[in-house]
Structure 1
Amino acid sequence: MPVPKAEFDALHPCDFYTPAELFEDDQLYTVYEIARLLQGLDPDAELDRETENVLLDWAIPWVMRHSDDLVVAEPRDDDEPGYYGVKE
């Protein structure tokens, strides 16, 4: 159900990092690591499954939105996710 804006003390811009701001040029990241980085966490930070799922809800659209600026590497093994990095 919608909530009136007046119920909140502050409203903030909905700004997100660009891939160049978020990633190291010579590194590739899984969507799980991207989810952490978007929240200002270390890529290997421990998260419970529920929190990780919420963060993935933000990370997956971010990857899709920035797909023109990203490269993708196939998983090295069947049980490993794909990797994303900054397009050169």
Structure 2
Amino acid sequence: MPVSKDEFDQLHPCDFYTADELLEGDRMYTVYEIARLLQGLDPDADIDRETEDVLLDWAIPWIMTNADDLVVAEPRSDDEPGFYGLKE
């Protein structure tokens, strides 16, 4: 249920990194690594499953929004996720 803005001490702008600001041009990243980077974490940071699920809620729309600036690589094996990187 929606709540009143008055219930929050502070409201922040909804600014996100651009793909160029977040990703290195010569690297490919999984959605999990992108999720960590969006929160200022190391892409290999060890986080619990519940936190990772929340971070994915941010990463998936970010990938869709920045799709024009990204390339996609299919998984190298069946037990690996796909990868995303900057278009050159």
> Where on the TM-score scale, by shorter chain, does this alignment land: which range?
over 0.9
TM-score in terms of structure 2 length: 0.96
Moved over 3 A (4+): none
**Percent of residue pairs bearing the same amino acid type:** 78
* Match of residue 14 from structure 1: 14
* Match of residue 38 from structure 1: 38
Aligned length: 88
CA distance in structure 2 between the partners assigned to 1:4 and 1:74 by the alignment: 43
Deviations 1:32-68 (A, max 9, x none): 0000000000000001111101111111111111111
Instruction: Give the partner amino acid of 1:36.
Output: R
Q: Which segments of 5 or more consecutive residues in structure 2 lack a partner in the other structure? A: none
Q: Which segments of 5 or more consecutive residues in structure 1 lack a partner in the other structure? A: none
* Match of residue 83 from structure 1: 83
CA distance in structure 2 between the partners assigned to 1:57 and 1:10 by the alignment: 22
TM-score in terms of structure 1 length: 0.96
Q: Given the alignment of the two structures, is residue 23 of structure 1 paired with residue 23 of structure 2, yes or no?
A: yes
Instruction: Give the partner amino acid of 1:6.
Output: D
Q: CA-atom RMSD, angstroms? A: 0.7
Instruction: Give the partner amino acid of 2:76.
Output: R
Shift of 1:85: 0.5
* Match of residue 68 from structure 2: 68
